[in-house]
Structure 1
């Protein structure tokens, strides 16, 4: 009898009762961080604060059912919020709340559909195409843009937004008109977040500062000092907003970039916080889960969503074992939507902006830039390029720059493989790169050992040949040996290049040998004309075999 497929989430199978207490406590702790931050991130996107509540609820419920990560906390992030703001700025020319709601529903549904389509096409591997240095630079650029975007709210200023340098100029020009009350509240909020993070790192700092600011506005009537508040926050579930097909045609490029970043951030956080005793997050299933979370959220007023690193860290540190913690977080967000939303009307914009700035600054990590520079200067340049692309060109364009830089980096690496001559460490069978630091290494007169590394194919075969020629010319060797032990694959162009090289060497009285071929490379070579030319007598298992054979030849001569 065929077993019926279970519709229950994967984490529910084998659930242990003793986990429940830890999951519930973790869900409550995460909610204390997720809900205030979601409100703040909604303001980054230019959306009403209640949209943040919907995003902390609906996507979390859906992901808990379909996701493969047991700890991932799904709502929205600073990156997704700023990308959404960029998208809305392109398609909306005024502040019509109705059109903004339609644009948000359209964008979020598009992102969801693209992620689901990517899951069907099994494109989970795409997340690996953005290198870590480029991602570091991209996030740093996003941090700069977000801070610049929130500075007017910290200082109580108003000016039309434009390019990055326009915003910097407008901010500096507006400084004489700073609202002292607003700036003072913002600085107090930042100080409170800093102190709580320093002396009470496990405390839900965003919840404390937001609650304290609401109370301060109500008790001291801070509005008369120029402090602006969010105003009425409607309670109850949102009404369904119909997406607009004409807007979809204009929003799809932004949606594509947002979908990529949503998945990239989600899978990175899921992998980073997976325990050794848990199933490894499945990239394609994560595409499906985040896609459904966005599509479902679009129907119920949420903005674009994805897994957040900081909130997932809180969730895991609080003891979360499964997605029951996420369901608890979503349930608490739902309670706020239905019951406590009206209490948020005195919430100051300056406090939300301070929360955004405090947690966005962490995206810019000088330590990561220094670590990249210490290891490889070229990748440091890639990181700076991605950062500059976001700041100077825009967030969506920055994604394009990040992808192009990553692909350029990949192309550069594979197009210029290392090729070097080898010598043997005396008294061993270990061969290493010829270097002036090791003058004692053993060479064999008349025998040149060359080692290329990596895959050799049409994009780099000529470059490999160009690197070998001066080494062969300088050595004036009787026999040239290609050690292919570090070459995992060769294709037709590479084999043709080797065959041409063999003919040129033979014409000048030099013999070509090959050694260290793995089974795949050996099979390809035997099928090629070069294999027929070399025969079994000029193919060797390893370099030690080569040296032994060469010494036999020298002894005979």
Structure 2
């Protein structure tokens, strides 16, 4: 997404000690700040706060924490990231995914929901997540975010969306269920419908219709803020509590107090912290890259790890929950015209004002209103169109997406991360273990060789000569599979010469090279020659050093297929 105006070139932020130290003392973006950006940044920050603050309150409830924790998360991590981060429009507080992952982790510590225990556990979790992110940044592990494929991430987020909606439905109905497995929660929610509070359902339906209607007909208006304000007004003016509509309750006024972690909880929380750190970074870098303007520096993964880690550690001691960049709030910030991190500082200032002045009003907000906000925005995680698009392109990857979604729903969100990573790695292993091997023909009148039968039926074939083109990296995991594909082709065509066009092979691993040498020996015993064509410099260097290179010599190694075909015709009259 491009921004208007020209900007001086910027050096990509590094991760070295001097760069980090400068970023702490003087933000790198500040030296390039232009006064003309201030108006856009202020407008964007105000607009984003209308989305960030209500959603932060809702996310705190998802995690089972008091609503003020959401305010603190929209304040402390937001400011720290704005100082240290590399993405101009990125809005860092918390997200739906992080909230439910945190809720799952904290539920292990205090199933009964003791507030003091949950706050201490939340501080410990945020501190551990921050430490993991910083260590990962120092070790330059930013590439890890690429290990979750896009189809698997689509399925993972859809599963998260289903779990969140199911978790919030009892609040929409004004009922309570004992939480258990996914199937148990579905059944318990259905059974609770008969005990629903009609006034609570009315508030819920009104809020959902308002949010959906404004999203479609007035997308520029701050729908979450308006919904929250109307919920508070309705609670106050209509005295809804007497009708059985429950409210959020007391929200402390003032600045967050010092919160100390409890180290004894770390043994229980560390597996969750690893998963949350991975998702925090994945969402942060995805949002930062998605909304980086053409004239802006691309977010640097390792620096983003470091900045997000420090933001989590700072938030941990000041009452915030685990934090990361959010796609929705970053989109709002960017579309509203954010030109720099000043917009995030404006949003944080609004969160601070809410802490100091508006907390009593937030306590009057109906739980049904908050649940409706959560559901309406969590449904956006479920994208049927993306599933259809994946299915239209590749059925196998559609299966991976569905497996990831079901894994989250049935096994839980933290286990779902493991499922997502395992499915991604298995998908990668499947792709590299079964590379294609094409039979080639030459387009008449040209030197273009193309796979058959996708080429024309008139493509030239050469009697006694079989042209094959494998693709991708050839190594120990797929060498035998390639051999299994080539053997029946040799039996079918019965060639005198088999030509392997290796121009699409970027690496030939030692084990695969040894297997190719053995295959060449077996082919010679059957009266078939092996020729190699189109090797890259790195592949050629390996072959020349190996016994196979000495066996083939220069007579059976060619620069391209045209030369190989010409040599064959001249040598086989």
Common fold by TM > 0.5: yes
Q: Which residue in 2 is equivalent to 1:331?
A: 349
**Does the CA contact (< 8 Å) of 2:107 and 2:113 recur in 1?**
no
Q: Which residue in 1 is equivalent to 2:126?
A: 108
Q: Which residue in 1 is equivalent to 2:145?
A: 127
Structure 2 residue corresponding to 1:270, chosen from 272, 285, 288 = 288
Q: Which residue in 1 is equivalent to 2:253?
A: 235
Distance 2:147 2:448 in 1: 35
Residue 478 of structure 2 corresponds to residue 478 of structure 1: no
Q: Which residue in 2 is equivalent to 1:167?
A: 185
Residue 378 of structure 2 corresponds to residue 355 of structure 1: no
Distance 2:309 2:570 in 1: 66
Structure 1 residue corresponding to 2:63, chosen from 32, 42, 45 = 45
Distance 1:506 1:437 in 2: 30
Distance 1:365 1:447 in 2: 50
The alpha-carbon deviation at position 238 of structure 1 amounts to: 2.1
Q: Which residue in 1 is equivalent to 2:236?
A: 218
Q: Which residue in 1 is equivalent to 2:7?
A: none
The alpha-carbon deviation at position 339 of structure 1 amounts to: 1.7
Structure 1 residue corresponding to 2:318, chosen from 270, 276, 300 = 300
Question: Which SS does the other structure have where 2:450 is aligned?
Answer: strand
Distance 1:491 1:168 in 2: 51
The alpha-carbon deviation at position 535 of structure 1 amounts to: 0.7
TM-score by length of 2: 0.95
Q: Which residue in 2 is equivalent to 1:77?
A: 95
- Go from structure 1 to structure 2 and tell me whether the alpha carbon gap of 1:436 and 1:357 turns closer, same or farther (over 3 Å shift): closer
Residue 292 of structure 2 corresponds to residue 282 of structure 1: no
Question: Which SS does the other structure have where 1:450 is aligned?
Answer: strand
The alpha-carbon deviation at position 542 of structure 1 amounts to: 0.4
1:116-515 equivalence runs, <5 A: 116-435=134-453, 438-515=456-533
Distance 2:63 2:391 in 1: 33
Structure 1 residue corresponding to 2:29, chosen from 11, 29, 47 = 11
The alpha-carbon deviation at position 436 of structure 1 amounts to: 7.1
Q: How many residues align?
A: 554
Q: Which residue in 1 is equivalent to 2:44?
A: 26
Q: Which runs of 4+ in 1 moved over 6 A?
A: none
Question: Which SS does the other structure have where 1:13 is aligned?
Answer: helix
**Contiguous gaps of at least 5 residues in structure 2:** 1-17
Distance 1:417 1:138 in 2: 27
Question: Which SS does the other structure have where 1:277 is aligned?
Answer: coil
Q: Which residue in 1 is equivalent to 2:82?
A: 64
The alpha-carbon deviation at position 93 of structure 1 amounts to: 3.2
Distance 1:376 1:57 in 2: 43
Distance 1:246 1:386 in 2: 32
The alpha-carbon deviation at position 5 of structure 1 amounts to: 4.8
TM-score by length of 1: 0.98
RMSD, matched Cα: 1.3
Q: Which residue in 2 is equivalent to 1:96?
A: 114
Write the deviation string for residues 501-544 of structure 1: whole angstroms up to 9, x where unpaired.
11111111111110000111111111100001111111100001
Write the deviation string for residues 146-200 of structure 1: whole angstroms up to 9, x where unpaired.
0000000000001211111111111111111100000100110011111111111
The alpha-carbon deviation at position 428 of structure 1 amounts to: 1.0
Question: Which SS does the other structure have where 2:32 is aligned?
Answer: coil
Question: Which SS does the other structure have where 2:498 is aligned?
Answer: strand
Question: Which SS does the other structure have where 1:18 is aligned?
Answer: helix
- Go from structure 1 to structure 2 and tell me whether the alpha carbon gap of 1:291 and 1:452 turns closer, same or farther (over 3 Å shift): same
Distance 1:501 1:420 in 2: 18
